Structures are given as structure tokens and as C-alpha cells.
Amino acid sequence: MGGETLPMQVVATKIEAVKIITQRRFYDDRGFFEEIFNSQRFKEHGLECDFVQDNHSYSREVGAIRGLHFQTPPFAQDKLVGCPRGALLDVAVDLRSGSATYGQYVCEELTPENGRQLFVPIGFAHGFCTLKPDTEITYKVSNYYAPDHDAGIAWNDSDLAIKWPVSSGDAKLSEKDQRLPFLKNAPEAFPIV
């Protein structure tokens, strides 16, 4: 082994505001080193976030779904999501009313091997499904957890038509996530300004 990957890359998804980020890796015969986050490099790519909290989630089984979650203003959150172990399908749904892509989603497979991160800005619901056992997800957020502003929409909303890699009968969900409303029944949270 030797060398390094290209500098940090930021690529827009089909919804321009959501970005796929691949960090620079330095390889040698022991493995690799990479920066997970660098504020200066983010600003160079026009991503200005003041991340204030790091979260870490572990799921034992394949087919564990968490989401689709968001926090309402004034406690809305930008998120930077990565997968240091296992594999997951990460999903962001546009909740910005008035947006040309309102109700549409993007998804990206995140693994330790591909080193991708997903930047999910304010105005989007976020969720994921585990693709391997013992999957871990880490994510930075730009606002603290606020229980009174914690919200979500149903992962299996037929109007969203998300192509999850698991059927309803095989999905593993929390009781809270099983009770989330469909988008058409959820209050407007993110008006376009």
C-alpha cells in the first residue's frame, strides 16, 4: 500500500443541497488515516456549519431502520453522516415546502470501504437502513437534541416511494418510528425562505 486518495471531494446529489463527501485518505502498509471533518475545507466547498454534537448509533441486525427523523426550527440540524463499520443505505427526504424537489429523496450507500459521508442540510428528514450486521453510524449535528422539536415521517410512506432494501415485514423499527405520520399528515416544518 502507499499513496493517498484525491483531496476532499464534494459532489451534489440529484437534490443539489444534499452532498456526497469523500475525505482524503493517506495509506501505508498499516492501513490508512483520514480527517473525518475539517471546518476550513468545508467552508472552501461552501458548506458553512457549526457542528456542536457528535452522535454514534449501533444496530445489531440487517434491516434495522431508523428514521425518517428531523428537528423543527429553531432547533433544526444540518447532519454529516458516516459509517465506520458495516454498511447502510442513508436517505434524505426534502421537506422544504415550495421546493421543486419537495417530497423527493436521495439515498447513498455508506461503508467504511467507500469512505463516503452524506451531508444532509436543514430542511430534510434523515433515515437509514442497515445492510450488514453490527453496523455503526456516526453523525455530526449543528444543533443540540431538543425533545420538544423532535419529529419525523414514516419510513414506508407510499407517496415518498423510497426503494428500501427491506420489506415492511422484515424491517426492524422502534415503537416511536412505527408511529410516525405520513408526509401528507405532518405539519409544515421548513418553509422556503
Give the model confidence (pLDDT) of 110-160 as tens digits.
999 999 999 999 999 999 999 999 999 999 999 999 999 999 999 999 999
Q: Which pLDDT score, from 0 to 100, does residue 105 have?
A: 98
Let me know: does 50 contact 25? Beta carbons within 8 Å.
no
Q: How far is CA 79 from CA 40, 157, 161, 175, in A?
A: 17, 22, 23, 23
Longest dimension (CA), the chain: 54
Separation between Cα atoms, residue 147 and residue 38, nearest integer Å: 29
Set 27, 69, 145, 149: catalytic member: 69
Tell me the pLDDT tens digit for each residue of 53-101.
999 999 999 999 999 999 999 999 999 999 999 999 999 999 999 899 9
Q: What is the rounded average pLDDT of the residues 7-12?
A: 90
Grid cell in block for residue 141: 449535528
Q: Is 139 a catalytic residue?
A: yes
Count of C-beta atoms within a 10 Å radius of residue 16: 9
Separation between Cα atoms, residue 146 and residue 72, nearest integer Å: 9
Q: Is 149 a catalytic residue?
A: no
pLDDT bin (cut points 50, 70, 90) of residue 3 is low
DSSP H helical ranges for the chain: 39-44, 175-178
Model-level pTM? Answer: 0.91
In the chain, domain spans: 11-22+51-183
Q: Which pLDDT score, from 0 to 100, does residue 93 have?
A: 98
Set 27, 58, 105, 139: catalytic member: 139
Q: What is the rounded average pLDDT of the residues 189-193?
A: 69
Report the topology of domain 11-22+51-183.
Jelly Rolls (2.60.120)
Grid cell in block for residue 72: 423543527
N- to C-terminal Cα distance for the chain? 49
Q: How far is CA 94 from CA 70, 105, 122, 125, in A?
A: 11, 6, 9, 7
Grid cell in block for residue 107: 439515498
